[in-house]
Amino acid sequence: MAARPQHPADPKYYEALNWIKERVSSRPKIGVVCGSGLGKFADTLEDVTSFDYKDIPHFPVSTVEGHKGCLVFGKLNGKELVCMQGRFHLYEGYEASACAFPIRLFKLLGVEKLALTNAAGGLNQNYKLGDFMLVKDHLNLPALMGLSPTLGVNDLYWGPRFINMHNCYDQELRDLAKKVAAEIGEEKIQEGVYQCQVGPCYETVAEQKLAQAAGVDALGMSTVYEVVAARHCDIKCFAISMITNICNPSYDVVTEVNHEEVIECATTRGDAMVKLISAILDKW
């Protein structure tokens, strides 16, 4: 196999990295991506240095409500973290590679473990509004249709051409999360399979039935791109979906779902999410 290069082929990464290094001395080993309406976690950090995405060279910008668009360096009980307060989605017009950009920047900064949160529709009919689902696997529909952050010439600096996705949501990190949830008395914990579709349409009944048949528990429009990019460069991943709406795969009932409802649920359960994520990351 060819030797791993010393630097990424694309200079964009170094331009962004150098810009950050000139402004913050923190070199966190933990990265966090906050989903829709779930950015509050970053507001609870201490010793914070925060950058608007628009100011960081080559960094994409957030366009969706509930995604503030700040890269936040801070401490959780003395532990250094870097946190994306807002992420990017393909329905915003971004290529999947835009979702990989911050994750690769994390890698260059020294991040080894990544925690991701998202807002998702609960397809599993046992799920309740406000439940937390530890993601154990995903169904990456965009990748099955030819959209992936790793399309094109492979830069061996990041990782191999072909990416192993077994255990991509790390089993040990999931087991730890279950233990921590029990310790803090968080009972609304599920574990399941997350499906990503490009969006921005929420799923039709037929699409929900297809996902159900495939063993999917929750539906969203994000996360998998970041996980593919992270696994490509050997960052361990852990993800939690907040169930912000309940999907109803039936023609007998008309279900109204909208982003306001998603944000409202994420906000209502925001403190519980902060408590859970903080307790988990405290053990990393």
Ligand X SMILES: O=P(O)(O)O[C@H]1O[C@H](CO)[C@@H](O)[C@H]1O
By the 8 A CB rule, do 122 and 188 touch?
no
The pair phi, psi for residue 161, each rounded to 5°, is -55, -45
Q: How far is the CB of 36 from ligand GUN (least distance, A)?
A: 7
How far are the Cα atoms of 53, 93, 218 from residue 151, in angstroms, in the given order? 24, 17, 26
Nearer to ligand X, 97 or 244 (CB): 244
Please give the structure tokens belonging to residue 64. Answer: 């969706």
From 52-60, 98-106, 126-134, 199-207, give the range in contact with ligand GUN by CB under 6 A.
Answer: 199-207
Residue from 58, 35, 69 nearest 196 by CA: 35
Residue 259 one-letter amino acid: H
By the 8 A CB rule, do 95 and 193 touch?
no
Three-state DSSP at 76 gives strand
Please give the structure tokens belonging to residue 198. Answer: 């490009």
Q: How far is the CB of 52 from ligand GUN (least distance, A)?
A: 25
Nearer to ligand GUN, 36 or 150 (CB): 36
Residue 206 one-letter amino acid: A
From 21-29, 52-60, 141-149, 240-248, give the range in contact with ligand GUN by CB under 6 A.
Answer: 240-248
Residue 87's binding partner out of ligand X, ligand GUN, none, with CB under 5 to 8 Å set by partner kind: ligand X
Residue 257 touching ligand GUN (CB under 6 A): yes
Q: Binding mask 115-154 vs ligand GUN (x if CB under 6 A, - otherwise)?
A: ----xxx---------------------------------
Residue 197's binding partner out of ligand GUN, ligand X, none, with CB under 5 to 8 Å set by partner kind: ligand GUN
Nearer to ligand X, 11 or 200 (CB): 200
The pair phi, psi for residue 14, each rounded to 5°, is -70, -35
Three-state DSSP at 79 gives strand
From 12-20, 161-169, 174-182, 218-226, give the range in contact with ligand X by CB under 6 A.
Answer: 218-226
Residue 60's binding partner out of ligand GUN, ligand X, none, with CB under 5 to 8 Å set by partner kind: none
Please give the structure tokens belonging to residue 125. Answer: 């009919």
Residue 104 touching ligand X (CB under 6 A): no
DSSP state of 2: P
3-state SS, 170-199, equals: CHHHHHHHHHHHHHHCCCCEEEEEEEECCC
Q: Binding mask 25-64 vs ligand X (x if CB under 6 A, - otherwise)?
A: ----------xx---------------------------x
Nearer to ligand GUN, 233 or 265 (CB): 265
Binding site for ligand X (CB under 6 A): 35-36, 64, 87, 89, 118-119, 199, 220-222, 259, 262
